[in-house]
């Protein structure tokens, strides 16, 4: 318990990773690929939230944590930026299909309203833990880039097990790892620039899944490959464009410096 209180983020990452990997070994043989995908997703999505709430209960209180996460004040400018970035990402995937000749035109598929609810619910359950709990605490003592790596690498690795559990080839899951790492850059950037509002992360995370409707006629085997290219390019632009944010001194270090200046004797 003492270790958890001293290193809450490390506890969150390790427990969430371990439970998530364990869930991917659930006996789901005999189910269709689509059913297996949804069931595994439904089992995995709540884990970050459950772990975050459990840790909050022993480190600072559940209600303060929930009030912090569900702060309803929202900068709508950044909500629109997150929405637009998600749309650009998916349109870029189809754009690559057009440029390569894989598709002749852009087609949009229909989507059932209940699935839209599921998409954003799953995104919310992941964002409460990874951004709302882990990243929020990490950036007080580390740079945003360090927070990105500490949360992004294990989160992306979880997706490797998720797709391996569905019988995907090794080459595919490696692409999935890169894709999700690039997505982490996008979501973390939107979350931090949007004032550390978990809703911004949810909009970015969920919308990029929703906007896969714009990749309707792209061959299945090309969607992952083109997504890796498009998302990685966007992630690299965000890293290069906003280096000041990614590598800025953490909040606690800045505050300590100010305190030292304030209490130093006058010359």
Work out the average pLDDT over 103-120: 93
In a domain, 260, yes or no: no
Q: In the prediction, which pLDDT does 260 show?
A: 36
Among 32-36, 90-94, 184-188, the minimum mean pLDDT is found in 32-36
Return the axis-axis angle of helices 220-241 and 76-100, rounded to nearest 10°.
130
Burial of 40 (0-12, 13-18, 19+ CB in 10 A): buried
Reading phi first (left if > 0) and then psi (alpha if -120 to 50, else beta), residue 118 is in: alpha
Domain presence at residue 265: no
Query: How far is residue 122's CA from residue 18's CA, in Å, rounded to a whole number?
Result: 19
Q: Is residue 16 part of a domain?
A: yes
Is the torsion defined by CA of 142, 146, 150, 155 positive or negative? Answer: positive
**Does residue 49 belong to any structural domain of this protein?**
yes
What is the pLDDT, as a whole number, of residue 138?
Answer: 96
Judge whether 164 lies within some domain. yes
pLDDT over 70 at 51, yes or no: yes
Residue 263 in this model has a pLDDT that exceeds 70:
no
Q: Is the pLDDT of residue 257 over 70?
A: no
Q: What kind and span of H or E run contains 233?
A: helix 220-241
256 inside domain: no
Calpha distance 263→179 (Å, rounded): 48
pLDDT tens digits, one per residue of 224-243: 999 999 999 999 999 999 99
Residue 267 · residue 218 · CB < 8 Å:
no
Per-residue pLDDT at 259:
35
Tens digit of pLDDT for each residue in 61-105? 899 999 888 877 788 999 999 999 999 999 999 999 999 999 999
For residue 66, the number of C-alpha atoms closer than 13 Å in the C-beta half-sphere is: 8
Overall number of domains in the chain: 1
> Which domain does 227 fall in, by range?
2-248
222 is a domain residue? yes
The pLDDT of residue 118? 94
pLDDT of residue 252: 58
Q: How confident is the model at residue 163 (pLDDT cuts 50, 70, 90)?
A: confident
Q: 60-84 b/e with 16+ CB inside 10 Å = b?
A: eeeeebeeebeeeeeeeebbebbbe
Residue 203 lies inside a defined structural domain of this protein: yes
pLDDT for 168: 77
Average pLDDT, the chain: 89
Write down the pLDDT at residue 75: 86
Q: What is the pLDDT of residues 195-210, one digit of tens each?
A: 999 999 999 999 999 9
Residue 52 and residue 190 in contact, taking contact as beta carbons nearer than 8 Å? no
């Amino acid at each position: 318990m003492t270790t958890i209180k001293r290193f809450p983020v490390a506890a969150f990452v390790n427990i969430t990773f371990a439970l998530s990997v364990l869930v991917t070994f659930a006996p789901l043989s005999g189910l269709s690929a689509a059913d297996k995908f949804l069931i595994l997703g439904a089992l995995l999505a709540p884990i970050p939230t459950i772990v975050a709430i459990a840790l909050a209960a022993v480190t600072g209180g559940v209600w303060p944590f929930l009030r912090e996460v569900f702060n309803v004040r929202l900068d709508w400018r950044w909500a629109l930026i997150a929405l637009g970035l998600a749309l650009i990402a998916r349109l870029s995937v189809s754009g690559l299909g057009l440029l390569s000749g894989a598709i002749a035109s852009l087609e949009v598929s229909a989507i059932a309203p209940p699935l839209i609810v599921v998409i954003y619910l799953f995104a919310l359950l992941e964002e409460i833990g990874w951004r709302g709990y882990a990243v929020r605490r990490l950036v007080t003592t580390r740079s945003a880039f360090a927070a990105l790596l500490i949360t992004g690498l294990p989160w992306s690795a979880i997706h490797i097990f998720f797709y391996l559990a569905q019988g995907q080839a090794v080459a595919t899951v490696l692409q999935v790892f890169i894709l999700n790492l690039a997505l982490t850059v996008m979501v973390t950037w939107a979350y931090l620039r949007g004032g550390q509002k978990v809703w911004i992360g949810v909009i970015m995370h969920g919308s990029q899944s929703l906007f896969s409707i714009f990749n309707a006629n792209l061959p299945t085997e090309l969607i992952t490959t083109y997504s890796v290219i498009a998302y990685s390019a966007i992630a690299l632009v965000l890293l290069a464009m906003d280096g000041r944010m990614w590598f800025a001194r953490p909040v606690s270090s800045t505050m300590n410096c100010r305190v030292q200046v304030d209490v130093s004797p006058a010359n």
